[in-house]
Structure 1
């Protein structure tokens, strides 16, 4: 293995980021990325040599599978020895038509639920820690990109789906790149995808070849959770339930001539905030239609008024309407709140 080199990059003015320069900045063995093939049918092992080489090209599995990293001690040895705080990048190219779960070996920490979508490359940022006697390696999953990159959408836009109750995620909706789910929902609901044939015909990148992909953002702007259900031969992996006031981004992959896989690659929620004035032990009503049955409400003191006691607490919660709060005697302070989820 070549010696590790510390590159200090301090450009002045415009710089052309050539492939060679990017490789040097991102690291790898001797400043180069060495690709290692892993062809095990089923679960496999990501050896220290493969990881420190910079990239694994995965083929072989015929169903969803899990690859486990080598031990932290072996990875440290492959890197040339212990150096606390050392970092490196690792690319995992999932060239199968099935989602790959990355699990941690001894002394290694990997993000829970770390899944690389079919026909996609996952980028990981690794950090060495612990001690020379007991080293650790922590992998952070930065994100995935499709192996087959289709042209960007020429007119990306958000398209609304407002059906009350169960709806259909048509190919036309998916083709815009973002589906914003609304409607005056009165309970949890399920949205079902279009057929495989319609999705392949409607999403131009998927018509290029088996393994082609397109990203899809599903935004749930309702106050109830949405379950994404696949039509026949459409598989949903990673995260099928999109909580209220939240979003999930999927990579939609054509895994065969007659099958589609949706793989969740990241998710988040939309916080809502406001203020209220405490009225001692008398309940105060706070109206906010973004509140759901599963929301977390965080309350903090903003402006002191009267006698400040304990932070006010929720007394009642009415999803889609708001909540009431109760404080302590003689407290007339102004409090800020944030609804999470």
Structure 2
């Protein structure tokens, strides 16, 4: 099927298909580890977002489910896609990190000035020895590397170690209800087994489409932070379906993947900050209405968001005594009631015994 004759998927059809892949049309009866694997990891810039991400997607999820996996080293926190921390299964940590390593190598060029005279191969060897002897904080790692290269920029040295090595954050960092500063060791050392070969680009394309499709080549490149993936899509073309969006952009998809009707009901969902649903496509209008673009963050501060009818509709936050829901626009009475019901469900699962009220606030727009 050629690009000119491929059927068109409008924004609502793309929205419903993506929500289904993201386990957001209905809560899935999946173990937490299987969900993390299917979703190709969860954004984990902060500790709590992966927990709220699964609470929105899994039936009966409890924070202890993910926390236990982390304590048992079945899932880990590691820098992968887009140079951001993700919670991945152990298997994916050992394979997806090699897949995106070219992007981490490119990232290092941004710090070229601070790394003049630094032998990066030797830095990787030394940093590995340091963190495998005992987990190190970034401060400790900087200071140790600075002793070897006193004229280099300390921050650049630490970033070079993070880019060259698959560094995981060791527990108790990341555990629910626990605290701990970031301490790092290598994925291989923490998991007790060597890194595995990266999946082929073709394998990665198929997994991406299963979690985020239908999607364009640029969509996947945005998700992975990689370039030159068009060849993989072309190799797979005979076994994929092709569509167009309303702007004529070619989209690829798995033949047996769900593509619900555009009118399929989409219940409200509370998502954490940095949820991958909002970050994993070049064209994000399938989830973010153009008039709300940029409304979920202010400077470097990113808010938790909620969906109404499948689309970004506002932000939320937990205060000591309340779940505060701040819509961007007018909501119907039925939508507000559904949000209150969903909010109560989230609080019961994530904070059992909580006596928080649920109230609607007013968003202050900052252009």
Q: What TM-score do the two structures reach when normalised by structure 1?
A: 0.22
**RCO higher in 1 or 2 (8 Å CA, sep ≥ 6)?**
2
**Rg (Cα) greater in structure:** 1
Larger strand share, 1 or 2:
1
